[in-house]
């Protein structure tokens, strides 16, 4: 408890009904467990068994102190007999699993050591508990049978039933000793377990109750630098972000204690998959080991050590693309992105920013975009390729003139290839009869990834500038083709009109008949949709883009094995495009291969950064001519009647 009390504040006491509902779904309902089918089912059985046996154990204890010892019978007895049997079998299976480890359990030396011995010890202890229970019940039944007294019948094929059969010919005194011995062993093991649990992985059963209840409710958001400190008072905060363990909020510390080390986060983590020095599982276990080391049971707590340098490396912290795959998978709703962002804030505050990111950050400060391009060229994309002749895009100069703002953002404004997505988007808006305009030179980068890379002060300056420009434009709606800008405007900005991603706009336009689509020219092409992280996982927009694709007559579409909330990040957007990681292969290459495995030859995406990464990956993977990437807006523009 000590570190939790020393943690930073974190208000998590709001919306109790929502939280209770989620507790029922994710904790009691074990909602995310079946995502790993076999392990998930074992866990659900175990969990249910434990729930039953918690009651059973209470009764068992009462029995020892009661004058007229007898356990309740009937259906309850049968259920608890089966529960104990199932738990026993599960324990045996899990012990075997830990002896014959699959590769994904391995702990690379750089991340610390495995806790296999601890796990097996705990599993064995529980198995012992179950066995003692079985012997207790079995010996009672056997002696009852021997004495021919009427007895409660045991659940057929349960462990006590089997043991009762085995013991039926044993002499009575031995049965009596077994009966008492089993009781003693059961209680000793139980109380030992009770005391030992907080030191091992088992404790997650209890801590997760709180972790899940207090879990983050607002996805797509980033926690403020310091809870309770308004933005205009931030200058007075001495230190930004997490530098020492005690800079984490109490909830984030609780996460460390609750993690069951199941490794599902790391299975899903694209950074881990391409050999970057980051694995979310170990981010947590290293912090937990740190806490056990620095807050010992006996002796003084030693706090105040810098985490980066001691347990984390700088590269580890910069390797994350904030895709959120880990958070979407964790059965206990452990948070990662906020912790990564907080650690980055700490690094930025200490000036420890990779050289590859310093230039784009400096350019964002002086020019408002990471490429260092001049503001006056921001709207040049509407002039290129003779676009102006076919479609007029108005630049909103402060006088209310349009209903809808197309927020273009940096990459779509300045990157030669991506400008085409901007032009397609403008054409679609035009075709659908939308009265829209752009901000032109007055628009700066949304700052989405500036914030997620820990440069909060710069982000706030960009947000302030854009908020003023948007308000001055007098628009009532915002549309963007960039999921990063979409997420920023939706979750990071305040006091701006509602925002929609172009895929949502297109889905509605197709549904309402404002846009009609021609059949595909080449019916042999097989399309697959790649969910951009900030459209899908962070904002739940999965169906709109698929609806648009399915509205194209004759379009063949397949799903990749990893889609929707298990989508695999393309390599990351915003500043992630500039970061030079140490990795063995590119995320994009892996993703392109996944598309090929699904039988597709066209990857459709809905994010400018995904486009950059996919097209690069197709070249790196040597799949030019065999695989193509197209943005959903480009596809619709091409098929529009």
Partner 1 sequence: MEILVCAKRVPDTSENEIELNAAGNDIERGDLVYSVNEADNYAVEEALEIVERTGGTVTVVTVGDDDDEEILRREMAMGAKQAVLLSDEAFEGSDGRGIASILAAFVRKGHYELILTGVQADDGAAQVGGMLAAMLDCPFASLVTSIEVLEGGKLKIGREIEGGNKELYEIDLPCVLSIQTGINEPRYVGMRGIRQVASVPIPTLHKADLGVNGFAGKAAARVTRTDYFTPTAGHGAEMLTGNHDEIIGKLIELLKSKGGLT
The answer for 552, left when phi > 0, alpha when psi is -120 to 50, beta otherwise, is: beta
Tokens of 10: 């974190």
Q: Please report whether residue 352 would count as binding partner 1 according to CB under 8 A.
A: yes
Write out the binding residues for partner 1, residues 584-603 only, by CB under 8 A: none
102 vs 625, which CB is nearer to partner 1?
Answer: 625
Q: Please report whether residue 222 would count as binding partner 1 according to CB under 8 A.
A: no
- Given 4, 205, 461, 472, the residue binding partner 1 (CB under 8 A): 461
Q: Please report whether residue 165 would count as binding partner 1 according to CB under 8 A.
A: no
Q: Please report whether residue 315 would count as binding partner 1 according to CB under 8 A.
A: no
For residues 87 and 53, the answer to whether their CB atoms sit within 8 Å is: yes
Tokens of 143: 């002696």
Q: Please report whether residue 350 would count as binding partner 1 according to CB under 8 A.
A: yes
- Angle at alpha carbon of residue 607, lines to 641 and 429, rounded to 5°: 35
Tell which residue, 568, 545, 575, has the closest CA to residue 614: 568
- Given 111, 240, 336, 493, the residue binding partner 1 (CB under 8 A): 240
**What span, in angstroms and rounded, lies between the C-alpha atoms of 546 and 593?**
21
313 vs 457, which CB is nearer to partner 1?
Answer: 457
461 vs 596, which CB is nearer to partner 1?
Answer: 461
- Given 367, 465, 557, 564, the residue binding partner 1 (CB under 8 A): 367
**What span, in angstroms and rounded, lies between the C-alpha atoms of 257 and 271?**
24
Binding part of the chain for partner 1, among 261-269, 275-283, 352-360, 581-589 by CB under 8 A, reads 352-360
E strand or H helix that includes residue 557: strand 556-558
Binding part of the chain for partner 1, among 80-88, 131-139, 362-370, 469-477 by CB under 8 A, reads 362-370
Tokens of 129: 């508990």
Q: Please report whether residue 458 would count as binding partner 1 according to CB under 8 A.
A: yes
**Least Cβ distance, residue 219 to partner 1 (angstroms):** 27
Binding part of the chain for partner 1, among 115-123, 366-374, 429-437, 609-617 by CB under 8 A, reads 366-374
**What span, in angstroms and rounded, lies between the C-alpha atoms of 616 and 638?**
22
**What span, in angstroms and rounded, lies between the C-alpha atoms of 547 and 504?**
9
**What span, in angstroms and rounded, lies between the C-alpha atoms of 164 and 376?**
87
**Least Cβ distance, residue 374 to partner 1 (angstroms):** 6
Q: Please report whether residue 148 would count as binding partner 1 according to CB under 8 A.
A: no
Q: Is 244 helix (H, G, I), strand (E, B) or coil?
A: strand
219 vs 352, which CB is nearer to partner 1?
Answer: 352
**What span, in angstroms and rounded, lies between the C-alpha atoms of 434 and 403?**
8
Binding part of the chain for partner 1, among 80-88, 284-292, 367-375, 627-635 by CB under 8 A, reads 367-375
249, 252, 258, 260: CA torsion to nearest 10? -160
352 vs 566, which CB is nearer to partner 1?
Answer: 352
- Given 2, 66, 177, 358, the residue binding partner 1 (CB under 8 A): 358
**Least Cβ distance, residue 416 to partner 1 (angstroms):** 15
Tokens of 453: 């890379």
83 vs 460, which CB is nearer to partner 1?
Answer: 460
215, exposed or middle or buried, with CB in 10 Å at 0-12, 13-18, 19+?
buried
DSSP assignments along 569-590, one per residue = P-S-SGGGGT-----SS-HHHH
**What span, in angstroms and rounded, lies between the C-alpha atoms of 158 and 173?**
24
Position of tokens 């993703």? 591
Write out the binding residues for partner 1, residues 389-418 only, by CB under 8 A: none
Neighbours of 14 (CB within 10 A): 8
Q: Please report whether residue 314 would count as binding partner 1 according to CB under 8 A.
A: no
221 vs 457, which CB is nearer to partner 1?
Answer: 457
- Given 376, 416, 498, 512, the residue binding partner 1 (CB under 8 A): 376
395, exposed or middle or buried, with CB in 10 Å at 0-12, 13-18, 19+?
middle
Q: Please report whether residue 355 would count as binding partner 1 according to CB under 8 A.
A: yes
Tell which residue, 602, 600, 626, 531, has the closest CA to residue 570: 531
- Given 330, 353, 533, 587, the residue binding partner 1 (CB under 8 A): 353
Binding string to partner 1 for residues 64 to 103, with x set by CB under 8 A, is what? ----------------------------------------
Q: Please report whether residue 383 would count as binding partner 1 according to CB under 8 A.
A: no
365 vs 430, which CB is nearer to partner 1?
Answer: 365
**Least Cβ distance, residue 571 to partner 1 (angstroms):** 23
**Least Cβ distance, residue 80 to partner 1 (angstroms):** 60
Buried b (16+ CB within 10 A) or exposed e, 299-314: eeeeeeeebbeebbeb
The contact set with partner 1 (CB under 8 A) reads 235, 240, 348-353, 355, 357-359, 361-363, 365-367, 372-376, 455-458, 461
């Amino acid at each position: 408890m000590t570190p939790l009390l020393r943690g930073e504040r974190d208000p998590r006491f709001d919306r109790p009904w929502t939280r209770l509902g989620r507790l029922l779904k994710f904790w009691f309902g074990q909602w995310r467990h079946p995502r790993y089918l076999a392990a998930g089912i074992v866990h659900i059985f175990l969990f249910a068994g434990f729930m039953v046996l918690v009651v059973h154990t209470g009764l068992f204890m009462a029995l020892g102190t009661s004058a007229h010892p007898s356990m309740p019978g009937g259906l309850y007895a049968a259920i608890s007999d089966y529960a104990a049997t199932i738990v026993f079998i599960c324990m045996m299976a899990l012990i075997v699993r830990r002896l014959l480890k699959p590769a994904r359990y391995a702990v690379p030396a750089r991340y610390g050591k495995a806790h296999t011995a601890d796990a097996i010890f705990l599993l064995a202890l529980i198995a012992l508990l179950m066995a003692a229970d079985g012997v207790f019940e079995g010996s009672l039944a056997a002696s009852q049978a021997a004495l021919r007294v009427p007895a409660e019948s045991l659940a057929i094929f349960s462990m006590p039933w089997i043991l009762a059969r085995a013991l039926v010919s044993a002499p009575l005194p031995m049965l009596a000793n077994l009966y008492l011995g089993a009781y003693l062993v059961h209680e000793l093991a139980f109380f030992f377990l009770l005391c030992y649990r907080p030191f091992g992985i088992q404790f997650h059963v209890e801590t997760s109750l709180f972790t899940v209840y207090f879990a983050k409710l607002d996805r797509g958001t980033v926690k403020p630098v310091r809870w309770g400190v308004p933005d205009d008072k931030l200058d007075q905060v001495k230190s930004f972000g997490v530098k020492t363990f005690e800079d984490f909020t109490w909830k984030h510390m609780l996460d460390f204690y609750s993690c069951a080390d199941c490794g599902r986060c790391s299975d899903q983590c694209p950074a881990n998959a391409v050999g970057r020095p980051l694995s979310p599982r170990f981010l947590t276990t290293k912090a937990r080991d740190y806490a056990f080391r620095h807050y010992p049971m006996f002796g003084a707590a030693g706090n105040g050590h810098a985490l980066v340098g001691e347990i984390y490396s700088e590269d580890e912290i910069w390797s994350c693309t904030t895709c959120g795959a880990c958070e979407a998978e964790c059965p206990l709703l452990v948070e990662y992105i906020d912790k990564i962002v907080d650690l980055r804030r700490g690094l930025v505050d200490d000036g420890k920013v990779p050289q590859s990111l310093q230039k784009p950050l400096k350019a964002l400060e002086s020019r408002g975009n990471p490429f260092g391009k001049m503001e006056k060229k921001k709207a040049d994309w509407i002039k290129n390729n003779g676009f102006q002749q076919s479609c007029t895009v108005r630049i909103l100069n402060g006088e209310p003139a349009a209903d809808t703002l197309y927020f273009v953002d940096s990459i779509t404004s300045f990157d030669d290839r991506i400008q085409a997505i901007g032009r397609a988007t403008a054409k679609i808006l035009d075709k659908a009869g939308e009265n829209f305009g752009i901000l032109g030179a007055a628009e700066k980068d949304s700052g989405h990834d500036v914030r997620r890379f820990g440069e909060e002060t710069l982000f706030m300056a960009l947000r302030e500038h854009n908020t003023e420009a948007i308000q001055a434009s007098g628009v009532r709606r915002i549309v963007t083709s960039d999921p990063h800008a979409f997420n920023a405007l939706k979750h990071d900005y305040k006091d701006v009109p509602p925002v929609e991603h172009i895929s949502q706009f297109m889905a509605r336009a197709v549904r309402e008949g404002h846009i009609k689509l021609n059949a595909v020219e080449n019916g042999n092409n097989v399309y697959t949709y790649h969910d951009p992280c900030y459209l899908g996982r962070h904002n739940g927009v999965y169906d709109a883009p698929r609806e648009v694709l399915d509205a194209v007559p004759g379009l063949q579409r397949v799903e990749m094995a990893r889609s929707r909330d298990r989508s695999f990040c393309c390599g990351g957007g915003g500043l992630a495009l500039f970061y030079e990681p140490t990795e063995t292969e590119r995320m994009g290459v892996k993703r392109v291969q996944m598309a090929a495995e699904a039988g597709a030859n066209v990857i459709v995406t809905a994010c400018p950064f995904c486009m950059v990464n996919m097209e690069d990956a197709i070249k790196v993977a040597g799949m030019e001519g065999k695989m193509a990437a197209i943005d959903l807006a480009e596809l619709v523009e091409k098929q529009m009647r």
